Amino acid sequence: AQKITQTQPGMFVQEKEAVTLDCTYDTSDQSYGLFWYKQPSSGEMIFLIYQGSYDEQNATEGRYSLNFQKARKSANLVISASQLGDSAMYFCAMRRTGRRALTFGSGTRLQVQP
Protein backbone atom coordinates (compact mmCIF):
# COMPACT_ATOMS: atom_id res chain seq x y z
CA ALA A 1 0.00 0.00 0.00
CA GLN A 2 1.10 3.52 -0.64
CA LYS A 3 1.20 6.28 1.93
CA ILE A 4 1.95 9.98 1.68
CA THR A 5 2.89 11.93 4.80
CA GLN A 6 2.85 15.69 5.16
CA THR A 7 3.96 16.53 8.68
CA GLN A 8 3.36 20.29 8.58
CA PRO A 9 -0.34 21.09 9.08
CA GLY A 10 0.39 24.80 8.74
CA MET A 11 3.24 27.02 7.65
CA PHE A 12 3.84 30.77 7.68
CA VAL A 13 6.23 32.58 5.35
CA GLN A 14 7.02 36.22 4.72
CA GLU A 15 6.30 37.59 1.30
CA LYS A 16 9.28 37.28 -1.10
CA GLU A 17 10.93 34.58 0.99
CA ALA A 18 11.33 30.94 -0.01
CA VAL A 19 9.48 28.14 1.75
CA THR A 20 9.80 24.35 1.74
CA LEU A 21 6.80 22.08 2.21
CA ASP A 22 7.68 18.58 3.30
CA CYS A 23 6.41 15.34 1.80
CA THR A 24 7.54 11.80 2.45
CA TYR A 25 6.11 8.71 0.86
CA ASP A 26 6.12 5.00 1.32
CA THR A 27 5.85 2.56 -1.53
CA SER A 28 7.37 -0.73 -2.61
CA ASP A 29 6.95 0.16 -6.27
CA GLN A 30 10.00 0.97 -8.36
CA SER A 31 8.10 3.15 -10.78
CA TYR A 32 5.78 5.89 -9.60
CA GLY A 33 4.97 9.56 -10.03
CA LEU A 34 4.91 12.33 -7.45
CA PHE A 35 2.75 15.43 -7.74
CA TRP A 36 1.99 18.65 -5.90
CA TYR A 37 -1.35 20.39 -6.02
CA LYS A 38 -2.47 23.75 -4.66
CA GLN A 39 -6.00 24.32 -3.38
CA PRO A 40 -7.00 27.95 -2.79
CA SER A 41 -10.09 28.82 -0.81
CA SER A 42 -12.11 28.71 -4.06
CA GLY A 43 -11.87 24.92 -3.86
CA GLU A 44 -10.28 24.16 -7.21
CA MET A 45 -7.22 21.90 -7.09
CA ILE A 46 -4.41 23.25 -9.26
CA PHE A 47 -1.62 21.00 -10.57
CA LEU A 48 1.79 22.49 -9.83
CA ILE A 49 4.58 20.06 -10.57
CA TYR A 50 5.41 16.43 -11.38
CA GLN A 51 8.42 14.22 -10.67
CA GLY A 52 8.86 10.74 -12.08
CA SER A 53 10.66 8.19 -9.95
CA TYR A 54 13.25 7.62 -12.67
CA ASP A 55 13.85 11.29 -13.37
CA GLU A 56 17.43 12.13 -12.46
CA GLN A 57 16.91 15.85 -12.27
CA ASN A 58 14.63 17.67 -9.87
CA ALA A 59 11.54 19.06 -11.55
CA THR A 60 11.08 22.81 -11.81
CA GLU A 61 8.11 24.89 -12.94
CA GLY A 62 8.61 28.62 -12.62
CA ARG A 63 8.82 29.46 -8.90
CA TYR A 64 8.12 25.85 -7.94
CA SER A 65 10.78 23.19 -7.64
CA LEU A 66 10.63 19.68 -6.28
CA ASN A 67 13.49 18.51 -4.08
CA PHE A 68 13.41 14.78 -4.85
CA GLN A 69 15.50 12.49 -2.65
CA LYS A 70 14.64 8.98 -3.72
CA ALA A 71 16.68 7.13 -1.12
CA ARG A 72 14.99 9.11 1.65
CA LYS A 73 11.60 8.82 -0.10
CA SER A 74 11.00 12.52 0.12
CA ALA A 75 9.58 14.95 -2.43
CA ASN A 76 9.58 18.39 -0.88
CA LEU A 77 8.08 21.38 -2.68
CA VAL A 78 10.11 24.56 -2.69
CA ILE A 79 8.35 27.82 -3.50
CA SER A 80 10.72 30.69 -4.18
CA ALA A 81 9.84 34.38 -3.75
CA SER A 82 6.51 33.73 -2.04
CA GLN A 83 3.56 35.86 -3.06
CA LEU A 84 0.35 36.64 -1.19
CA GLY A 85 -1.52 34.59 -3.79
CA ASP A 86 0.44 31.51 -2.74
CA SER A 87 -1.65 31.31 0.44
CA ALA A 88 -3.52 28.03 0.03
CA MET A 89 -3.63 24.38 0.97
CA TYR A 90 -0.90 22.27 -0.66
CA PHE A 91 -1.24 18.54 -1.25
CA CYS A 92 1.47 16.07 -2.15
CA ALA A 93 0.27 13.06 -4.12
CA MET A 94 1.60 9.85 -5.63
CA ARG A 95 0.49 7.67 -8.50
CA ARG A 96 1.57 4.13 -9.20
CA THR A 97 2.71 3.59 -12.76
CA GLY A 98 -0.08 1.97 -14.72
CA ARG A 99 -2.79 3.24 -12.40
CA ARG A 100 -4.90 6.35 -12.62
CA ALA A 101 -5.62 6.76 -8.92
CA LEU A 102 -3.74 9.41 -6.96
CA THR A 103 -3.04 9.00 -3.25
CA PHE A 104 -2.99 12.36 -1.50
CA GLY A 105 -1.27 13.43 1.68
CA SER A 106 -3.14 15.28 4.41
CA GLY A 107 -2.04 18.68 3.16
CA THR A 108 -0.18 21.74 4.46
CA ARG A 109 -1.85 25.10 4.80
CA LEU A 110 0.54 27.86 3.76
CA GLN A 111 -0.06 31.45 4.77
CA VAL A 112 2.04 34.17 3.18
CA GLN A 113 2.34 37.28 5.31
CA PRO A 114 3.02 40.76 3.92
Partner 1 sequence: DTEVTQTPKHLVMGMTNKKSLKCEQHMGHRAMYWYKQKAKKPPELMFVYSYEKLSINESVPSRFSPECPNSSLLNLHLHALQPEDSALYLCASSQGYLERAGELFFGEGSRLTVL
Q: Which is nearer to partner 1, 41 or 114 (CB)?
A: 41
Minimum separation from the CB atom of position 3 to partner 1 (A): 12
CA dist., res. 16 & res. 83, Å (int): 6
Q: Which is nearer to partner 1, 72 or 100 (CB)?
A: 100
Minimum separation from the CB atom of position 15 to partner 1 (A): 25
Question: Dihedral angle at the C-alpha atoms of 113, 4, 29, 57, nearest 10 degrees?
Answer: 10
Q: Which is nearer to partner 1, 25 or 91 (CB)?
A: 91
Kindly list the residues in this chain that would bind partner 1 in the complex (CB under 8 A). 33, 35, 37, 42-47, 50, 91, 93, 95, 97-102, 104-107
Whether the Cβ atoms of residue 49 and residue 59 lie closer than 8 Å to each other:
yes
> What sign does the CA torsion over 102, 70, 51, 82 have?
positive
